[in-house]
Amino acid sequence: MEHRKVLLTEDEMPRQWYNILADIAMNPPLGPDGNPVTPDKLAPVFPMNLIEQEVSSQRWIDIPEEVLGVLKIWRPSPLVRALNLEKALGTPARIYFKNESLSPPGSHKPNTAVPQAYYNKVFGIKRMTTETGAGQWGSALAFSCAQFGIECKVFMVRISFDQKPYRKSMMATWGANCVPSPSLETNAGRDALEKNPDTPGSLGIAISEAIEAAVTDTSGQTRYSLGSVLNHVLLHQTIIGLEAKKQMAKINEYPDVIIGCAGGGSNFAGLAFPFVYDKIHGKQIEIYPVEPAGCPTLTKAPFVYDHGDTSKYTPLLPMHSLGHAFVPAPFHAGGLRYHGMAPTVSQLVDEGLLTPKAVKQKEVFEAGVLLARTEGIIPAPETNHALATVIEEAKKAKEEGKEKVILFNWSGHGLLDLTAYESYFAGKIQDVEMTQAEITKAAQVFANHPRPQSLKSKR
Ligand SMILES: Cc1ncc(COP(=O)(O)O)c(C=O)c1O
């Protein structure tokens, strides 16, 4: 009988995260004076223990026991062979995925929410603020704050707030307070509403609100938390790829192709970075981050210095960006509606170590429905972007008659995204694609910013 799942015991869980900063060259984040940002400048926003991780270039970083204790609620996550999908496509490819939908909130997001809540707790923080696009990140931080007894406030992008009201209920169940963004609670929110009272919101605006809510709290006991993009967030997510490597080794497999959807880059990097290490050291692997054609950060936007949020509260980050003021079309994958991308992922794309892809909405939902009907799990709309590319690769392997091994990340389930599936079945999902003129217009906001240097970290 063919095995469907490869499992690890709790004792086999990785005890350290992999830090890619030990292996790649990076441009530094810049402050308003154009100079590299020093850790003390970030202190009002993040606790110092997380800032230290953000700038660390130590290759392996220990996972605290208290963090492992909470991760064990659902980890190690299974590596699953998508046998039914293979059969449905008639492909010679062997397709595997990490099932990250099994966490309490339903996605990979608590892999970093748990350590972030833990480090804030250790630093003496009582309240955390954040934004959420899909609602998955807000739920993940709400769940994690409940584990460590921290208060949690979430600014949820308006369009997602309206599309999936039960995400708010989920956060409330874990004790968090969730409001739609833009809100009237912050200058950033009021400003966005004044400019456009009917705005669907964006992650850029919600991030500004959450940072403002943290730094203006005079008690000094509130800090902000980001669910993607930053180095420490991607570091925490590498537990996915480290587990996958062990699981594949158990069955004598190694991936030829690695695929993950990319919003800010965290689930993709979590799976891919431990394998990027191998690629830097000579392994032949194709690695694809996949984004929506309606928000084509990696495939069409330039590699520039830009702010991570609309109100320019964050430093200038070296990344692919559509411009910090850009508000993406209100398509259903809220977690992929971000103007920027993780600097580490951006750097690796710039060096040609990763090959980004963009997919359109109808193809994305078609893929999600096929996976639901074959593998059983209803995927999150974000995950569907990876799935569309997995199907394309599996079909290519069939045409070429190649026994490729494809590994992808099932970043979340879509059980609270059923409005999106209803729209798809009703024929209401539109393909959204940005034109070059729209990209050029959105890029005006960083015309005067410094440019990152072209660096090469390949050995
Ligand atoms: C299920 C799911 N997958 C993917 C993403 C994209 O985020 P990231 O690129 O940081 O993994 C999100 C973000 O909300 C998500 O909820």
Q: In this structure, how many other beta carbons lie within 10 angstroms of the beta carbon of residue 9?
A: 7
* Ligand 1 geometric centre to CA of 36 (Å): 29
Tell me if the domain spanning 17-63+108-231 has CATH number 1.10.1040.10. no
Residue 263 has pLDDT above 80, yes or no: yes
Counting from 1 in the atom list of ligand 1, the atom nearest the Cα of 137 is 14
Percent of the chain scoring above 70 in pLDDT: 99
pLDDT, one tens digit per residue, over 2-25 is 789 999 999 999 999 999 999 999
Please provide the average confidence, as pLDDT, over all residues in the chain: 97
Counting from 1 in the atom list of ligand 1, the atom nearest the Cα of 383 is 3
* Ligand 1 geometric centre to CA of 107 (Å): 8
Percent of the chain scoring above 90 in pLDDT: 96
pLDDT of residue 248: 98
The residue-averaged pLDDT of 376-396 equals: 98
pLDDT of residue 3: 81
N-term to C-term CA, the chain = 42
Type of residue numbered 458: K
Which of 111, 136, 170, 226 best tests ligand 1's pocket when mutated (most atoms within 8 Å of CB)?
136
At residue 246, φ and ψ (nearest 5 deg) are -65, -40
How crowded is the C-beta side of 431, counted as CA atoms within 13 Å?
10
pLDDT of residue 1: 67
Q: How far apart are CA 275 and CA 242, in angstroms?
A: 9
- Output the ligand 1 site: residues, CB below 6 A: 107, 133-134, 136-137, 228, 261-268, 335-336, 380, 382-383, 411-412
**Boundaries of every domain in the chain:** 17-63+108-231, 64-106+237-446
Query: In this structure, are strands 222-224 and 286-292 parallel, antiparallel, or unpaired?
Result: unpaired
Is residue 437 exposed (0-12), middle (13-18) or buried (19+ Cβ within 10 Å)? exposed
CA distances from 149 to 48, 410, 449 (A): 19, 29, 41
pLDDT, one tens digit per residue, over 200-223 is 999 999 999 999 999 999 999 999
Q: Whose Cα sits closest to atom 1 in ligand 1?
A: 412
pLDDT, one tens digit per residue, over 50-82 is 999 999 999 999 999 999 999 999 999 999 999
* Ligand 1 geometric centre to CA of 334 (Å): 8
* Ligand 1 geometric centre to CA of 91 (Å): 28
Q: Whose Cα sits closest to atom 6 in ligand 1?
A: 263
pLDDT, one tens digit per residue, over 294-307 is 999 999 999 999 99
Decide whether 17-63+108-231 matches 64-106+237-446 in CATH topology: yes
pLDDT of residue 164: 92
CATH placement of domain 64-106+237-446: 3.40.50.1100
Residue 282 has pLDDT above 70, yes or no: yes
Which of 107, 170, 415 best tests ligand 1's pocket when mutated (most atoms within 8 Å of CB)?
107
Contact predicate 5/247, CB 8 Å: no
Counting from 1 in the atom list of ligand 1, the atom nearest the Cα of 263 is 9
pLDDT of residue 459: 58
Residue 238 has pLDDT above 80, yes or no: yes
* Ligand 1 geometric centre to CA of 293 (Å): 16
pLDDT of residue 51: 98
Q: Whose Cα sits closest to atom 7 in ligand 1?
A: 263
Q: Whose Cα sits closest to atom 4 in ligand 1?
A: 382
The structure tokens listed for 80 are 């699953």
pLDDT of residue 161: 95
Residue 330: pLDDT band by 50, 70, 90 thresholds? confident
Residue 193's H or E segment, with its range, is: helix 187-195
